[in-house]
Amino acid sequence: MSTHDLYTIPSELSTWDVDMTGASRFTWEYDEGRDRMLALYQKGKDKQWDSTKRIDWDLEVDPYNVLGIPDTTIAIYDTPLWHRLGPQQRKDVRLHGVAWQFSQFLHGEQGAMICSARIVESVPDLDSKFYAATQTMDEARHAETYARFLQEKLGLAYPINPHLKALLDSTLSDSRWDMPYLGMQVLIEGLALAAFGVLRDITTKPLPKQILAYVMQDEARHVAFGRMALRDYYANLSESELREREDFVIEGCYLMRDRLRGEESWEHLGLSRAEIDEIMRATDQSEYLRVFRSLLFSRIVPCVKDIG
């Protein structure tokens, strides 16, 4: 079955082409490079794993209780709209919520794979090229894993969220070599690592817990790579150059905040526009989601401060 057959919302059948600018950089300096970066590269080589063999794909998944977490984590729980929903509609809310979330993980991993390849192409130093090459393989494995989970266990998928798509577009289309680091390694990967950690800790189901745990092992290295690579470079930027990157981070955080609202995941229920607006208000006021957002963004603040 084609992935397009799984999408709940019509999706473009063609590829999404991002026009990228900037140079492909060769270096003729083949000395060993920075010890910290090479140690991370060695760890990236040592920690490779095979999703087909490492993940126990025989574990059963209940599509209406994928994560085994309470309904209090749903934005509209205990609202008038929640009480108006019938048992099957509530099951659909659970299924589509998780399918939407893991679909965005999948699209983000493909974006990370492309950004990593872009870093290999554009970063000026060889030790960073070495590490980014291992990360490209990591991200391919993550995309493979999430795609299989959606296809085999949920039978449902969502197209890329427009806010995530906008951040990937601005990250990849920028000609400056450090922007894929900043957009992907710091913002998207940083937030993803925090989200994976929350879900890994609260899920009571073995298969998603296993997948998230293995993916997190890799993502922690990726975020460390971004911090390490940008720290030295940003120390030498002018005030105006730093301000441009600060503005990029601020805009990226707004996009990632709005991505978490997941408005499109509710449109399959046949609700009216007024009811969807009601859901969005409940989402913005949800105490669980407020704490969740706060936790996610608190994880990237130290990283942004560290790189300057």
Mean pLDDT of 34-61: 93
Closest CA to 262 of 88, 74, 113: 74
**Pick the residue with more confidence: 21 or 224?**
224
d(CA 250, CA 297): 11
Closest CA to 109 of 25, 10, 246, 211: 211
Q: Is the pLDDT of residue 97 over 90?
A: yes
Q: Is the pLDDT of residue 57 over 90?
A: yes
Identify whether the C-beta of residue 61 lies closer than 8 Å to the C-beta of residue 205. yes
Q: Is the pLDDT of residue 301 over 90?
A: no
Identify whether the C-beta of residue 189 lies closer than 8 Å to the C-beta of residue 176. no
Query: Average pLDDT of the chain?
Result: 90
Residue for token digits 């082409």?
Answer: 17
Identify whether the C-beta of residue 252 lies closer than 8 Å to the C-beta of residue 167. yes
Identify whether the C-beta of residue 112 lies closer than 8 Å to the C-beta of residue 222. yes
List Cβ neighbours of 239 (8 Å cut-off, separation of 6 or more).
Answer: none
**pLDDT 10s digits, 288-298:** 888 888 888 88
| The pLDDT of residue 302 | 85
**pLDDT 10s digits, 172-183:** 999 899 999 899
**pLDDT 10s digits, 118-137:** 999 999 999 999 999 999 99
d(CA 219, CA 98): 21
Give me the residues paired with residue 7 across strands.
Answer: 157
Mean pLDDT of 15-30: 84
d(CA 229, CA 174): 18
pTM of the model: 0.91
d(CA 56, CA 75): 31
> Three-state DSSP class for 157?
strand
Q: Is the pLDDT of residue 116 over 90?
A: yes
Q: Is the pLDDT of residue 6 over 90?
A: no
Single-letter residue type at 156? L
Residue for token digits 């969740």?
Answer: 292
155 in the Ramachandran plot: left (φ > 0), alpha (ψ -120 to 50) or beta?
A: left
**pLDDT 10s digits, 231-275:** 889 999 999 999 999 999 999 999 999 998 889 888 877 788 999
Single-letter residue type at 150? L
d(CA 149, CA 67): 13
Q: Is the pLDDT of residue 217 over 70?
A: yes
In CATH, what is the architecture of 34-307? Answer: Orthogonal Bundle (1.10)
Percent of the chain at pLDDT > 90 equals 63
Helix-then-strand count for the chain, H and E: 12, 0
d(CA 121, CA 22): 10
Closest CA to 122 of 165, 171, 193: 171
**Pick the residue with more confidence: 228 or 148?**
148
| The pLDDT of residue 55 | 98
Q: Is the pLDDT of residue 12 over 70?
A: no
d(CA 103, CA 255): 17
Q: Is the pLDDT of residue 19 over 90?
A: no
| The pLDDT of residue 13 | 62
| The pLDDT of residue 220 | 84
> Three-state DSSP class for 7?
strand
**pLDDT 10s digits, 133-179:** 999 999 999 999 999 999 999 999 999 999 999 999 999 999 899 99
Domain ranges in the chain are: 34-307
| The pLDDT of residue 232 | 85
| The pLDDT of residue 11 | 67
